[in-house]
Amino acid sequence: MSEPICLLEAVNLALARSLQDDPEVILFGEDIGHNGGVFRATDGLAHRFGAHRVVDTPLAETMIAGTAVGMATQGLRPVVEIQFMGFIFPAFEQLICHAARMRHRTRGRLSCPMVLRAPFGGGIHAPEHHSESTEALLAHIPGLRVVIPSSPARAYGLLLGAIHSDDPVIFLEPKRIYRASRTLVEDNGAALPIDRCFTLREGSDLTLIGFGAMIPECLDAAEQLAERGIDCEVIDVASLNPIDYDTLLASVAKTGRAVIVHEAPGKGGVGADISAVLGEQLWGQLRAPIIRVTGLDTVMPYYRNEMHYLPGVSDILDAVNKSLEAGRDEILQATGSG
């Protein structure tokens, strides 16, 4: 691939590569065939690989998930699309009661090597039900892997990793950054591990932890903080279940400070879980309380007010400042110079 591509095109590239390399891969969903998907994630794939491999379905999300489960039990690798995460709920019973359990239920005889893709998150001025981030509901379920990319290269590698996985994977695409940036992505078929965090920037003062569309915000904040001489480590969680706690714990043990950022409401969110584990494991090594910067505990507003709901760089900077101040107070108290 000689041209730089965006995250959306990287998804398309990984899907094409999978269809090319593995005859057991089959794509289906609403409008993904001739139309190429409402975001064009499957653009050109039906034409290139045929309508039997890139298949339009009737409009029924439960059916999309349940049929994928059935297909996967027979050894195919269905990669299905739910058009927006706001429409994923009819699929929950199939994902939670069957996809997540099939290997467990049959003591390893049948498995569910399926990928369910869905665009998620706000910031694109979409109608109701088109902007939510409900990843925590899925990350809560034992047996379901939940993977979220935050760059074109990680979208390509993680989606390949998801398709190669013998477990069911929910692959959530941060649509706000579908076309945000372009980078060169080599179409080499190399998968990225879907159970690891990615340390995007090394630093010693504080760990910024996020995923999806919040990663560019975290990197931007880290850049601004660097100008003030504050050295942030930025970690893309990428896999929300299971979470690579080894990487997170090592980083926060080093920095002593953590700020966790996500778009979803804070209550019961993935940030709460990460915060709890960091607190349990690093008691005594933390230099400040762990702070979460999250969406608000209310319904995602329609788009006129969405930027009042979504966390941004200034919210991250505020949280970092709070974390640094908390530490400073303690140091001042400890040295008796306050």
Q: CB of residue 129 vs other proteins: minimum separation in angstroms?
A: 19
Q: Which of 5, 15, 68, 115 binds other proteins (CB under 8 A)?
A: 68
Q: 235: closest CA among 224, 226, 134, 222? A: 222
Cα–Cα distances (Å) from 27 to 20, 64, 295, in that order, read: 12, 11, 32
Query: What does the per-residue mask of binding to other proteins show for 21-60, with x meaning CB under 8 A?
Result: -----x-------------------------x----xx-x
CB of residue 200 to other proteins, shortest distance in Å: 22
Q: Does 81 bind other proteins (CB under 8 A)?
A: no
Beta bridge partners of 258: 207
Strands 54-56 and 25-29, by their bridges, are: parallel
- Residue 184 C-beta: closest distance to other proteins, Å: 32
Query: Exactly one of 142, 268, 289, 338 binds other proteins (CB under 8 A); which one?
Result: 142
**What backbone torsions phi and psi does residue 219 show, to the nearest 5 degrees?**
-65, -40
Closer to other proteins at the Cβ: 102 or 291?
Answer: 102
End-to-end CA distance of the chain: 58
**Among 12, 18, 83, 111, contact with other proteins (rule: CB under 8 A):** 111
Return the beta strands (E) in 284-334 as ranges.
Answer: 291-295
- Residues with catalytic function: 130
DSSP secondary-structure letter at 183? B
253 binds other proteins, rule: CB under 8 A: no
CA–CA separation, 338 vs 260, rounded Å? 29
Site for other proteins, residues 144 to 183, rule: CB under 8 A: 145, 165-167
Q: How far apart are CA 150 and CA 263, in angstroms?
A: 13
Q: Considering the complex, what minimum distance in angstroms separates the CB of residue 269 from other proteins?
A: 19
* 279 lies in the site for other proteins, by CB under 8 A: no
Judged by CB under 8 A, the residue of 1, 31, 38, 63 near other proteins is 63
Largest CA distance in the chain: 74
Pick from 149, 327, 312: which is nearest to 238 by CA? 149
Is 123 one of the binding residues for other proteins (CB under 8 A)?
no
Q: Which is nearer to other proteins, 70 or 256 (CB)?
A: 70
Q: Give the amino acid at 312.
A: G
3-state secondary structure (DSSP) of residue 337: coil
CB of 232 to other proteins, least distance (A): 25
Rounded CA-CA distance 49/10 in Å is 17
Residues that bind other proteins (rule: CB under 8 A) add up to a total of 45
Q: Residues for the chain: how many in total?
A: 338
Choosing from 1, 38, 40, 70, the residue that interacts with other proteins (CB under 8 A) is 70
Give residues in contact with other proteins (CB under 8 A).
26, 52, 57-58, 60, 62-63, 65-76, 78, 90, 93-94, 97-98, 102-111, 142-143, 145, 165-167, 195, 242-243, 245
